[in-house]
Amino acid sequence: MHIDEERLQKKRLEKANSLLESLGLEAIIATAWDNIRFLTDSKPYVTVDFYIDTGAAILPVDGDPAIIGGLQGEIAEGVKILGKLSSYPYIPSPLVSRIWGKAISKALQQVDIAEGKIGIDYLPIETLQNLKNRLKRIEFIPILKDILRIRAIKMVDEIKLVKKAASIVDTGMQKGLDNLKIGVSERTVCAEIFNAMFMAGSEMVPWTPCCTCGGQYADLKPTDYRLKEGDSIRWDVGAMFKGYIGDASRTGFVGTPDEDFRKLYSCVYKALMNGIKAIKPGNRGSDVDFAARSTLQKNNYPAYAMSMGHGIGMRVYEFPWIAPKEEAQELDMRLEPGMVMSLEPESYSNNKFVRLEDMILVTESGNEILTKTEYLLDFI
């Protein structure tokens, strides 16, 4: 797989500069790690504890992107460091807003910006207030929605990277299905999945690993429970490749399923397939959600209080949002070629759970399923 990384970064910056111009901004300041990577092509340090505290990026109008302070990670060639910190504060940024305010203010001075509008993606209120106190002639504008909109339609090289991330997840999920044996623990299955993904090139674990035989939607962490005859087990796992996320789910079964599980699995599979059929240019995210959700409801299976899917790219949750129309409201986007999403219906019956999830690319004529791990078609 050949990726022209220089071309990709040039195209990203073209999108960002178009946003600067359309919103009349003097600069963009990004603190979310995915936006830092989008603007600078650098690989910032990523940790759940310090999601918005590990640094920042600045893109001034008619200027080159730069990194501000923090734990920079791997900085792309030619990217400057502005507003340096004397030492990185291992403490949540709202508690030391003066330090971050000073670093960001210094960076703006270094690029000769003292007034006008600055777009921000994700700043704690304390840090924002500190900046407002320091920079009286600057108006700070929230633009996270705008950034995610320009990122929603993937470019050619981005699609290649997303497909690679999807193939890495496939490698892990197939390994999981191959290791479903009586006496094997949930932890072992999960470890086999993630080991396979890392061996295939994954950079990190994007979220808490999910791999369980029971539990409600938000409680999917693997335990020491050992599989026995008649158990179903599902996982929701992800990988990252060169900054792009892969995300998918499968459900496996140990032994021969009873009729109740077969019907449940068949219905969730149909919900997934009906949702995928609705993924095509011109439809909205809510159309996809309805197609999947209504399949479960018409067959008297419960649907969790969750959206049926989400866009995916340089972060797990992007546009388009696959949610009910009344919930998505103004974020109910029309689907366009180049958008990538994960569709993930799940339901349960008699303490058995089924979850299926695939990554889908919107194409000119419809869609392309990017994750290709087998389903349990013998159960359908």
67-81 per-position pLDDT tens digit? 987 766 788 888 999
- Identify each DSSP E strand in the chain by its residue range: 27-30, 56-60, 66-68, 80-82, 116-120, 138-142, 210-212, 232-241, 244-253, 309-311, 318-322, 340-343, 346-349, 352-355, 358-362, 367-369
User: Quick one: 157 and 146 in the same domain?
Assistant: no
Domain boundary among 121, 151, 181: 151
Domain boundary among 133, 151, 169: 151
Tokens of 41: 């092509």
d(Cα 171, Cα 188) in Å, to the nearest integer? 16
d(Cα 321, Cα 50) in Å, to the nearest integer? 25
User: Domain containing 308: what range?
Assistant: 153-379
Residues 82-129 have pLDDT tens digits of 987 888 888 888 999 999 999 999 999 999 999 999 999 999 999 999
Of the chain, the end-to-end C-alpha distance in Å amounts to: 36
User: Quick one: 214 and 146 in the same domain?
Assistant: no
pTM of the model: 0.95
Residues 95-104 have pLDDT tens digits of 999 999 999 9
Tokens of 368: 């392309």
User: Quick one: 114 and 245 in the same domain?
Assistant: no
What integer pLDDT is reported at residue 72 of this predicted model? Answer: 66
The residue written with tokens 């995916």 in the block is 312
Residue length, the chain?
380
User: Quick one: 69 and 170 in the same domain?
Assistant: no
Domain boundary among 151, 167, 198: 151
d(Cα 186, Cα 94) in Å, to the nearest integer? 38
CATH of the domain at 278: 3.90.230.10
Lowest mean pLDDT among 32-36, 114-118, 143-147, 148-152: 32-36
Q: Per DSSP, what are the bridge partners of residue 334? A: 284
User: Quick one: 81 and 198 in the same domain?
Assistant: no
What integer pLDDT is reported at residue 78 of this predicted model? Answer: 87
Tokens of 335: 């689907």
Is residue 235 within 8 A of residue 208, CB to CB? The reply is: no
Q: How confident is the model at residue 218 (pLDDT cuts 50, 70, 90)?
A: low
Q: Give which of 341, 333, 328 is closest to 371, Cα–Cα.
A: 341
Q: Who wins on pLDDT, 154 or 85? A: 154
User: Quick one: 334 and 345 in the same domain?
Assistant: yes
User: Quick one: 254 and 273 in the same domain?
Assistant: yes
What integer pLDDT is reported at residue 231 of this predicted model? Answer: 94
Q: If DSSP codes are grouped into helix, strand and coil, which group holds residue 362?
A: strand
Is residue 321 within 8 A of residue 311, CB to CB? The reply is: yes
User: Quick one: 208 and 312 in the same domain?
Assistant: yes
**Domains identified in the chain, total number:** 2
Q: How confident is the model at residue 138 (pLDDT cuts 50, 70, 90)?
A: very high
E strand or H helix that includes residue 150: helix 144-152
